[in-house]
Structure 1
Amino acid sequence: MTEQQPNNKLHGKTLEMILNELVAYYGWPELGYRIRINCFLDNPSIKSSLTFLRKTPWARKKVEDLYLNTRFK
């Protein structure tokens, strides 16, 4: 049974989808500037970033917050 989450703006978005959209929009250098974590600054990749973000709640929150505050054109 799936629950409706009308107030959750991230509902239906996976962390991978969010990260891919942010990288496509900002690029790794700008993303690393906006969120100062090594997985964005030192040899970044989607795979290594996802591994880190899944283990680190505070970093994941920063990525989700940036996503919610970004107005994609």
Structure 2
Amino acid sequence: MEQSKDPLHGKRLDTILEELIAYYEGFERLGEEIKIKCFTDNPSINSSLKFLRKTPWARAKVESLYLYVLRQKKRDAQ
């Protein structure tokens, strides 16, 4: 079976969000990277997931930042 080259393939949104929160050490710095209210105004994982699932443009920003973070981690590991 062909393995997907897409790093987002099979990745759950909650996993992506948790990894970003860990990488940026909390919602505060994540909210500086992506200025959306669910990260800056009384943020929680559940409220953010609810918003991101309903809001394609915001989800796209989160996925794009996640891909950037993956590249950074790979570069830092070298």
Per the normalisation by structure 1, the TM-score is 0.88
Q: Any stretches of 5+ residues in structure 2 without a counterpart?
A: none
Q: Which runs of 5+ in 1 are unaligned?
A: none
Q: How many aligned positions are there?
A: 71
Q: Stretches of 4+ moved more than 4 A in 1? A: none
Q: Distance in 2 between matches of 1:37 and 1:24?
A: 18
Looking at structure 2, the residues matched to 7 and 57 of structure 1 have their Cα atoms a distance apart, in angstroms, of 22
What residue number does 1:60 align with?
59
Q: Provide the rounded CA distance (Å) in 2 between the counterparts of 1:51 and 1:5.
A: 30
Cα-Cα RMSD = 1.5
Q: 1:12 and 1:30 mapped to 2: Cα distance?
A: 26
Q: Secondary structure at the match of 1:23?
A: helix
Work out whether residues 5 and 11 of structure 1, in 8 Å CA contact, stay in contact via their aligned partners in 2: no
Higher helix residue share: 2
Counterparts of 1:20 and 1:50 in 2: how far apart (Å)? 10
